[in-house]
Amino acid sequence: MSDLFETLTLRDTEIPNRVMVSPMCQYSCEARDGLATEWHRQHLESRAVGGAGLVMSEATAVEARGRISPEDLGIWSDEHRDALEPITEFVREQGAVPGIQLAHAGRKASKSRPWEGSEPVAPADGGWDVVGPSGNPWPYEDEPPTTTRLSTSEIEEVVDSFRAAARRAEEAGFEVAEVHGAHGYLLHQFLSPVTNDRTDEYGGSFENRTRLIREVTAAVREVWPDDKPVFVRLSATDWLPEQESWDIENTVALASALSELGADLIDVSGGGITPESHPERSGPNYQVEYAERVKENSDAAVGAVGGITEPAQADALIRNGRADLAILGREHLRDPYFTLHAARELDATERVDVPAQYERAFR
């Protein structure tokens, strides 16, 4: 029996297998209004048809200035909620669990799409003024735009934005809400001493730097149904060993605190706080060691990401207790039907719902 095709029950939500589609930005709201488009529907729905147990949306901005690019997805109004509802309905019809990643880009916001250079977009060109824990901007090669330090009252508004977004996400039919605290975006910016030089209750000590993500997680948990799980994605390390930065020891401590606040799974990734924040190595399972550390020292379930590309590899992660979910990003771009192919390779086709239209190819 393949462990990859064992169900995972978190609260009362049953994920039919241990494959999760990683949140992957599509930068495809061409109208720059944050509303889900046909592209988003195709992207997410095809992965549900492909058998993944949990289909997670891309980083979905809780307020307009929280988008990475003007073309990013959002959920800051009821109109955004309504545009997402047909996607969750279809994903559930395929037997998968729909999830949404709630995000705010902070100082990494208002930039052009990766294939357009990831350069700052000025307000005159459809961008906006960006915010962060401190006034230090993202270090673009050319002159960076001004970053405005959030006041304590504005921080409260950010927390409220996450709370309101979670409420809309539940109304749209999502069954998992993930708080994005990784990859150098706003919540990670507060966590890391590299980007947080505040001296108030949101800066300095570990307790203070983790205050915002704890408040956001509590706010999401407050409005999210008790029978549905909350995830938190963390960068386990800044990969900046030569300076004071966020590291795996910090992540382990924070994971325990988030678990006590009602987080059910920690989605363990890494990096992103500066352009120099890169791993020493890449390749298969290159971040799994961080997931293992969190799993060994926390009551929360754990998702592992990074260089997971083969069915047997993903199965081994679950079988050996290194993670509870195998989270695949790029491999799902290459193969939307990864899970169906994995079921056939691992002799577990009876454990996955193959659409009747596709049965002749996978049975």
Beta-strand relationship, 13-15 and 8-10 = antiparallel
CA torsion 112-113-115-120 (nearest 10°) is 20
97/48 Cα distance (integer angstroms): 8
Residue 310 has pLDDT above 90, yes or no: yes
- Position 144 scores a pLDDT of 85
Mean pLDDT of 169-184: 98
pLDDT of residue 244: 96
Q: Which of 27, 140, 185, 202 is catalytic?
A: 185
Bridge partners (DSSP) of residue 24 are none
Q: Which residues contact 247 (CB under 8 A, 6 or more apart)?
A: 236, 237, 238
The pLDDT, as a whole number, for residue 280 is 84
Quick check: 234 and 202 in contact, CB under 8 A?
no
The total number of structural domains in the chain stands at 1
30-39: average pLDDT = 98
Residue 142 has pLDDT above 90, yes or no: no
- Residue 210, CB half-sphere, CA atoms under 13 Å: how many? 18
Based on the residue annotation, tell me whether 27 is a catalytic residue of this protein: no
Q: What is the pLDDT of residues 67-110, one digit of tens each?
A: 999 999 999 999 999 999 999 999 999 999 999 999 999 999 99
Question: Residue 53: pLDDT band by 50, 70, 90 thresholds?
Answer: very high
What average pLDDT does the segment 232-255 reach?
97
pLDDT above 90 (res 1): no
Answer yes or no: are the C-beta atoms of 165 and 157 closer than 8 Å: no
Query: Residue 167: its pLDDT value, please?
Result: 98
Q: Could you give the 3-state DSSP secondary structure of residue 328?
A: strand
3-state DSSP call for residue 314? helix
The sign of the CA dihedral 67, 54, 284, 330 is: negative
pTM: 0.98
Residue 52, domain extent: 3-362
Helical residues (DSSP H) of 52-194, grouped into ranges: 78-93, 152-171, 186-191
Q: How confident is the model at residue 315 (pLDDT cuts 50, 70, 90)?
A: very high
pLDDT at residue 115 tops 80 = yes
Q: What is the CATH number of the domain that holds 316?
A: 3.20.20.70
Cβ-contact 132, 189 below 8 angstroms: yes
**What is the pLDDT averaged over residues 193-220?**
98
> 135 falls in which pLDDT band (50, 70, 90)?
very high
Q: What is the pLDDT of residue 363?
A: 75
Share of the chain above pLDDT 70, in %: 100
Name the amino acid, one letter, at 301. A
At 11-26, the pLDDT tens digits run 999 999 999 999 999 9
Band (143; pLDDT cuts 50, 70, 90)? confident
Question: For residues 105-119, b (16+ Cβ closer than 10 Å) or e, as one string?
Answer: bbbbbbbbbeeeeee
What is the C-alpha separation between 115 and 222, in angstroms, rounded? 38
Confidence of residue 128 (pLDDT cuts 50, 70, 90): very high
Phi, then psi, of 113 in degrees rounded to 5: -65, 155
H-helix segments, the chain: 38-49, 78-93, 152-171, 186-191, 206-209, 211-223, 248-260, 288-296, 311-319, 330-334, 338-345, 359-362
Average pLDDT over residues 235-259: 97
Phi, psi dihedral angles at 19 (to 5 degrees) = -100, 125
**Residue 362, pLDDT score:** 83
